[in-house]
Amino acid sequence: MSGYWRLWLRVSFDMRLQVSPATAPLKGQLRPPGDKSISHRALIFGGLASGVSAIEGLLEAGDTMATQHAMSQLGARFSHTENGLMVQGVGAGGLLEPEGVLDMGNSGTAMRLLAGVLAGQPFDSVLSGDQSLNSRPMARIMAPLALMGATIHSEPGGRAPLRIQGNPALQGIHYDSPVASAQIKSCLLLAGLFAQGETVVSEPRLSRDHSERMLPAFGIEMGAGISLRGGQCLQACAVSVPADPSSAAFLVAAALLVPGSDLLLTHVGLNPTRTAFFRAVQAMGGDLSVQNERETAGERVGDLRVRYSPRLQGIDLPADWIPAMIDEVPILLALAACAEGTTRVRDAAELRVKESDRLAVMARGLEAMGCPVQEYPDGIDVTGADCHFAEVDSAHDHRCAMSLAVLGLRAEGGVSICDAQYIDTSYPAFRADLERLGITLHMQPESSS
Ligand code: S3P
């Protein structure tokens, strides 16, 4: 059975994660899984390029499998080798009209980036996803794509499924995005490749810049700021995917919270548009340092040394750090629940339109575990407390599930989390990695708990 179907089957069953308080420290060295954002881009760019691209370190998880599966429906060919994945790209003008709907599963990145590619093709296509993805806002990409000449029909409120009427005569645009979003930016850059003229994107704060860094490796000439000229063709190249700082964040937090822990996490991506969580940990008094910093394939990487930190302090999170830790806010809130004083997060309304409303889901989970919280439309205050056992709902959200699981390691009596199968969308080896570091978590089908 292919990895895609294996993971699809795993997320099709309701699972409960039972976490007991840690009785031993996390010790050892580990390379966390490949970066999800870079993996999506490697699969899409490699699938579009002329020639064969070699990808090392790719994340194989529900989200990236959805992208890989869609790219193969569009004509790209994938084969596993000893060193990773080879992608035979379709080359210029080579995408095939897909048979049936392209299923993006739980992945907003897959849907928004592929919408950019498909808007400029000489064929129609339909992008759909699971219940969570089909309730997330797509108007944010449909509006600028329409300015380029794209025709996309959605469900009411700009929700997927997206029915894309391909238009091979798109026009480049200058777009000032109202949101700092790498998905919007990358969607428009990809559509811009298939458009006439130049596409220029600006954003209120710099979001993750993996597309801008990786497109030149695929032979695309980038212009000033965030811009490119249409009509350029991608050429195959070798991609090395660093470990995902967003996945590493859960292991960092676990080590900070469990007495006696001492971990080395290797080859972690340290692109400055992704590292604000590590800065926040240091600002809270966490014992975290970067070693052996280096550059591979246009991305900064390094090893993270993290040790148990008994006296974390609450902080006021600077608003301009949010884009560089947008996916790490849930795990920061779990740390805040164990810190002295109050942690304040504002200017983070984007969290309400992620895989779940992450501010609300974390607020309910933390409150149930005995931690005082105050929710705001664009943020949350969390005051550290002695947390205790509760049954909590991760609302089909992988990052909320893992954040609450890490908090359970420190809570009296642990925690029990439903919908934990969604962890597989970004980190299928979460439990196995914790096990290697000395911590056992139990997952069981919902009916038997
Ligand atoms: C991503 C961008 C971010 C992030 C998501 C991955 C990407 O979303 O939350 O997990 O790979 O471009 P937004 O662009 O919506 O902020």
Whether residue 65 has pLDDT greater than 80: yes
Whether residue 11 has pLDDT greater than 70: no
The 10s digit of each residue's pLDDT in 414-429 is: 999 999 999 999 999 9
Cα–Cα distance, 20 to 42 (Å, whole number):
38
Cα–Cα distance, 82 to 2 (Å, whole number):
17
Cα–Cα distance, 68 to 52 (Å, whole number):
15
Ligand 1: distance of its center to the CA of 110 in Å?
A: 10
Query: Are the C-beta atoms of residues 287 and 256 closer than 8 Å to each other?
Result: yes
- Domains along the chain? 12-35+242-448 (3.65.10.10), 36-240 (3.65.10.10)
- pLDDT at residue 83, as a whole number: 87
Query: Is 181 near ligand 1, meaning CB less than 6 Å away?
Result: yes
Buried b / exposed e over 115-139, threshold 16 CB at 10 Å, is bbbbbbbeeebbbbbbebbbebebe
The 10s digit of each residue's pLDDT in 119-147 is: 999 999 999 999 999 999 999 999 999 99
Mutate to test the pocket of ligand 1, among 207, 246, 299, 358 (most ligand atoms within 8 A of CB): 207
Give the distance from CA 312 to its chain's centroid: 26
Q: Quick one: pLDDT band at residue 377, thresholds 50, 70, 90?
A: very high
Mutate to test the pocket of ligand 1, among 38, 64, 113, 183 (most ligand atoms within 8 A of CB): 183
Q: Is 33 exposed, middle or buried (0-12, 13-18, 19+ CB in 10 A)?
A: buried
Active site residue 327: yes
Q: Is 447 exposed, middle or buried (0-12, 13-18, 19+ CB in 10 A)?
A: exposed
Of all protein residues, the one whose alpha carbon is nearest to atom 9 of ligand 1 is: 327
- pLDDT at residue 8, as a whole number: 62
3-class secondary structure for 13-27? Answer: CCEEEEECCCCCCCE
Query: Are the C-beta atoms of residues 135 and 128 closer than 8 Å to each other?
Result: no
The 10s digit of each residue's pLDDT in 189-218 is: 999 999 999 999 999 999 999 999 999 999
Residue spans of alpha helices (H) in 137-244: 139-147, 182-193, 210-217
Three-state SS at 134: helix
- pLDDT at residue 296, as a whole number: 85
| Measured CA distances, 60 to 69, 418, 422 (Å) | 12, 23, 14
Query: Is 109 near ligand 1, meaning CB less than 6 Å away?
Result: yes
pTM of the predicted model over 0.95: yes
Ligand 1: distance of its center to the CA of 103 in Å?
A: 18
Residues 6+ positions from 166 with CB-CB distance below 8 Å: 118, 119, 120, 121, 122, 123, 124, 125
| Partner residues linked to 382 by β-bridges | 343, 373
Cα–Cα distance, 345 to 330 (Å, whole number):
11
Give, as one character, the DSSP assignment of residue 313: B
